[in-house]
Structure 1
């Protein structure tokens, strides 16, 4: 897959088939659209192009700095690449771009730059300055500039919308099973291993503290999770706590993973954590010894559950 960080960097001598959207999560609903895009491109002997934007338009237009997304840009690249799409364009979204009129967007971007012969888009898609243009306008532009418009049905759009909402809600409620079902893969996060307080090792539960650098990445509800970890392309299993460590000294939210049968130094390494299941809320214990007793129970339960994921 070719990745272009600006629409102006994309060049082609052939025709393209295009879809546009945020595709946050690249969940089962999105995957249907990507499959539709790929198949249409093969049928028309054209290049497939997914046009998306970053920062998220809401971050720019509404200054919604608290928006949480299911994927970082790097995660999105990896997911979309697995569907055999030819080109991913991640165009910088800013106020200037948002002021393009609908026809300027169609003529300058879709027609002149992308050289499309077909666009696959939701029936409720709105575009152009202040998002005033509708699918009917796009169809009219298609007739004027000689490209086809294929509408994604109301049912499919509803599935995509409902899925995105349910995934975010499920993760914030700690319902990993529901989130993973709608995603079609295990929700994950990637971060660097940083120095922690090293209290876990004093009770025989050493942990790796994970620092997620992208502050817009959605972190699931505080609690204890069964997880798998990818380190240097090897898979390990363990349990992870997201929370404020109330037993020790409550502070900022931290993400700490204890890996089973693991004894390597991984400071500064980047690791990918996949969520398998949530097993309990974070709790405050009367002592470190009480915490250790609970962690032993958590480990036993986690090992039992891991068997079904191997």
Structure 2
């Protein structure tokens, strides 16, 4: 095969660097219909993804969340988006578009197109746990749940839990004393942790099998398990609140795949036809305002997406934080998981 043919073949592919589970064809049906499935590579959390990309891993698109976009951009990992090639750009929910530094930088350059948004929240087995025992996030450190707890192997979700537990809803302003309080709380939680989950399949199987009773999990866990008839519920009204996040897709600098396919994929995941499936099967909100508006009120209400203001109220939003705070969290979380 000639070198020209080899290059042509390489640039005709598309590699998406993503969270496990998002390879679900129903999340990008228009792309699948046109091309078949893209190649997927997976990461467990955004720090892992960041380090892998900095080490030279090549992909065309990636799926970071709100707290990481600025860091990835400033590290030179991102290629600006061309809104003229994003057919659903004008349909993105206004509340997501207006979030500082999430989609665009001060000069108006677009870096991310939002896709999914939701919560990390207290999730529990209703047949084994009394609702009154999980009214506070401090339940994660309650000795009665020893070896019955799981939280994500994810520094952002872990410190979102810890920040809320100590009464802090803006982690960008975390003081040294608050960092110590949050870390001490996670050390208490660690005593109860059966395992740190790394993907939705792992946590869903563990809760379904009765291996764990209490989880700090994304909306998908309760949605999927309820659809399967497992007795689980979430508490969105704990004393301390819950965490809210927004994630989306970015183009990666140095991408070697097809630019046309990259934009076709971005248009497919933000298509309004995806909105209802995302809510019903994943429990997440979709970024397309037109698609969300077309969903029947009963479906929206059952998932909590009928009132966005209430949905995002009493939450810690996982916004970009100063790099020095994040680096402290990363280092400390590794110690905590190791039992130190």
Which TM-score band (shorter chain)?
A: under 0.3
TM-score by length of 1: 0.24
Kindly name which structure, 1 or 2, has the bigger radius of gyration based on alpha carbons. Answer: 1
TM-score by length of 2: 0.23
Structure whose residues are more often strand by fraction: 1
Higher relative contact order (CA 8 A, sep 6+): 2
